[in-house]
Amino acid sequence: MRMNHMTYKHIFFVTCLGLAFVLACSGTTYAAQVDDPFYVRQTYLQQIGMNQAWEAAKGNSGLTIAIVDTGVDLEHPDLKPNLVPGINLINPKEPPMDDNGHGTNVAGIIAAVGNNDRGIAGMLWNARIMPIKALEADGSGGETKLGEGIRYAVDHGAKIVVLSLGLNKYSAYMSDIVRYAEERNVLLVAATGNEGNRVKYPAAYPTVLAVGGVSPNGEVDRKSNTGPEVDVVAPWDVFTTGLGGTYEPKDGTSMAAPQVAAAAALVWSQHPEMKPYQIRQWIRQTAQDLGPKGWDPAAGYGLLRVDRLLTEPYRSDMYEPNDRKDQAAALSISKKVSASFTGGTDSDWFYIEAPYDGTVNLTFDMDSRYGVSVQHTDVTGVLASKSVRGGQTVSFPVSKGRGFYRLQLSDRNLTEEIPYQLTTSFDIYRDPYEDNDLQYKAYVLPSRSLTIKGTLHQNEDVDWFEFPVPHSGSLRIQLSTDTARMDPVLLVQKQGEKSITIDKADDGGTEVYYLPEVFPGSYYIRISNVKEYVNPVVGEYTLSIEYDAKLNDPNEPNNRSYQATTVSLETPYTGLLDKPDDIDWFQFRIAEESLVQIRLSDIPASVTIYMELYDGSMKMMAGSMNNASTSIQELSGRFVPGSYYLKLKSNKTFTNQMYQLQVNAKPLTGGYVDIRGHWAQNAITGLTAKQVVDGYGDYTFQPNRAITRAEVTAVLARAFQLAREGTSVFSDLPATHWAYSYIAKAYEAGMIDGYPDRTFAPDQPVTRMEMTAMLARSMNMIGKFRGLSPFVDVDERYWGNGILKQMKAEGLISGYADGTFRPDQQATRAEFIQLLYDVLNR
């Protein structure tokens, strides 16, 4: 990238013809009720339900909408009645006259005078449009002028600011401007961009309403930028006002954003007391879902529906019902939303899809008198619980994938509704090559062709690598990225020589450097973002190095089994198959029963390696081969103590790339690799031996993973050898569910019950109290009602207090060192198995 320009891009346009259109909400056909002659070409208005919306409101002359763009044609007869004074920031001595056309296109969508027997009908027939020229005639501009334009609009009475422009760079300056607008109750609406990449700024800031584009067929246009910041989409193709009093077709998210701004103005005219965050949430709430249920990174909350916006009541919490994990609502990793607690017992469940490993941050904007308990379950089932007060931020390390978050007021006795705003943000992981920000700290790479992924996770981050070249050959270095928010710069330097900087591609592009001849020595590689992009980037770069050199096999001679190279466990070994009859033998020893993984990697392209495994008596146990298009193959399984041999041969020779062999062994305890030394080890192995419990296909038990209602029921049915199977009465339990038979048996035996709505929620995690109650029911315990509560965090009125008293008195349960029991905390597999083991052996 050479300049930080805000640009718009029109790639193609489609004109849709027809006089009548079907509205998705009712199936009823409506004809246009305006006399503007080009209204028949404004098909996008029917797509968002404007016919019905106009029955409720046709304009808003009490609210000013600022358009920060290339200016507006101040003499256009279809716009002039709705214009108010603005400013030209490019040439302050001149009026904000449009010399490009883009700003005039945007203005017509919002406020071309309607029903005036001229041109087109804007979504607002009467309005107050403030033109602010912040872009040059070619559509380019800098963030300084953009910020000045937004601030001018805020300071001169605008209530909505339309920003049909964007850039890939995050800016602390622009972030402050956006915050300035939000603090003064001004709504910012921005286009996401048209490159088929990440959402651009300012649309990407958490409080800006980010608008993508949808084609006439109802699908998100493939060029509309997507990502966690998308709020809604609106039609991509429009017919609107042009320079010199003309009209023309246009397309892009630049044309979608003003539709959302106009919709916001219409609903604000009816509810002037509302705040920007409420208007944002109302637009999200009434959008027409297009993709997966709920929010998604392509369509956001869905297609703008102005008819719904003006007729459906505002909900203080659009995500309800989300009281259980299986009802969790989707959240973006980078947005500000609003919801509410109906009281201290209300739980709000959300899930967030983390695009990478990293950290999810949750900031609560609410009265600081209130505290919130946040419980997080990541994709591996590991639990974390933290508390936070209003105005504070809580952070959770996460793995790539879906994580669940349960929010609940800390004071469970509250009965009034407590509203809150929640801002999410994400910090990408620190890559494993850090700390390598300086050349003398360069991470040393192995001397072979490879591909690695890294991150620029902190301000002004640079990554240095050292690539030792042991033999003469050639070197090709390629640097690419998965996000347009990174404009990667590559620097290459042979030790003791001048450096070469490669920066030919723009944002999101790929840099390549080829050295046809390299000589032994160290080559240093520096990866950075273009100097203007100093902030951390949520995205990965990929560094690929192709090193072509003539190599020597360090293990030769090992062509016979009696010459086998002895392999140490957990240690990589490299080798070559460089002769037509070459065979490589290796041997290793297992001291105790273990899960063994034999991994052969870095196999050259188009080469197939045949791997055979033999026991100590040279009896063949297994064999494998890689597909010629893959570079990895594996053998794994449960190995008894003894010696083993590996034989490698290939379909063709290779001399310019080493394969890598590594043998890993994890000792097994009771058939599992992850319970040795665990406090519940004896219980797990004991019940496994009795076939009451089992683990997973990868020889893990995952003792700290949350246990579900279905898993608990299955274990109880096996433990108590339930045989009589009734009929399931639960509406969410199909006969095909893996635990159907167990649940039916346990229900017939009276051990379990469901929820009042006739659901069982089989995949819902079990709390410590539910776990205790299920086991008590299996033993026909009804609880004690005398005596004090045995735990400091269990009130006498708590529904399970009697059962806790009895179970504690009989020595079957104990709490934590601080005297608490934490009944609402999710139970782990180990906790349940230990309690069941104690019950069965009491």
CB 841 within 8 A of CB 779: no
Name 468's bridge partners: 522
CB 473 within 8 A of CB 518: yes
Q: Which residues of 504-521 are buried (b: 16+ CB within 10 A; e: fewer)?
A: ebebbbebebebeebeee
The active-site residue out of 215, 254, 332, 631 is 254
The whole-angstrom separation of Cα 554 and Cα 539 is 38
Tokens representing 695 are: 């683990």
Residue 557, preceding peptide bond in cis (omega within 30° of 0): yes
Q: Which residue has the tokens 């996401």?
A: 192
Q: Which residue has the tokens 């959008």?
A: 287
CB 452 within 8 A of CB 477: no
Burial of 578 by CB count in 10 Å (0-12 exposed, 13-18 middle, 19+ buried)? middle
Rounded to a whole number of angstroms, the distance between the first and last alpha carbons of the chain is 72
Q: Angle of helix 253-270 relative to helix 102-111, nearest 10 degrees?
A: 30
CA distance to 152, 183, 188, 336, 452, per residue, from 179 (Å): 14, 6, 10, 12, 38
CB 375 within 8 A of CB 767: no
Name 331's bridge partners: 352
The active-site residue out of 73, 76, 78, 102 is 102
Mode of pairing for the β-strands spanning 126-133 and 158-163: unpaired
CA distance to 722, 739, 740, 745, 764, per residue, from 727 (Å): 14, 13, 9, 8, 21
The active-site residue out of 69, 221, 307, 431 is 69
Q: Is position 254 annotated as part of the catalytic site?
A: yes
Q: Is position 102 annotated as part of the catalytic site?
A: yes
The whole-angstrom separation of Cα 207 and Cα 277 is 8
Identify each DSSP E strand in 521-651 by its residue range.
521-529, 541-549, 565-566, 573-575, 584-590, 594-601, 609-615, 620-625, 633-639, 642-650
The whole-angstrom separation of Cα 383 and Cα 378 is 7
CB 203 within 8 A of CB 82: no
Print the SS3 string covering 610-639: EEEEEECCCCEEEEEECCCCCCCEEEEEEE
Burial of 423 by CB count in 10 Å (0-12 exposed, 13-18 middle, 19+ buried)? middle
The whole-angstrom separation of Cα 16 and Cα 207 is 34
CB 750 within 8 A of CB 734: no
Name the maximum alpha-carbon separation found in the chain.
96
Secondary structure (DSSP) of 710-743: HHHHHHHHHHTT---------TT--TTSTTHHHH
Angle at 95 between CA 90 and CA 97, to 5 degrees: 80
CA distance to 31, 37, 116, 156, 338, per residue, from 19 (Å): 6, 11, 18, 40, 39
Pick the closest to residue 465 from 496, 488, 508, 434 (CA basis).
Answer: 434
Q: Which residues of 651-689 are buried (b: 16+ CB within 10 A; e: fewer)?
A: eeebbbbbbbbbbebbebbbbbbbbeebebbebbbbbbe
Q: Identify the DSSP state of 217.
A: T
Length of the chain: 842
Q: What is the CA radius of gyration of the chain?
A: 32
Which residues are designated catalytic?
69, 102, 254
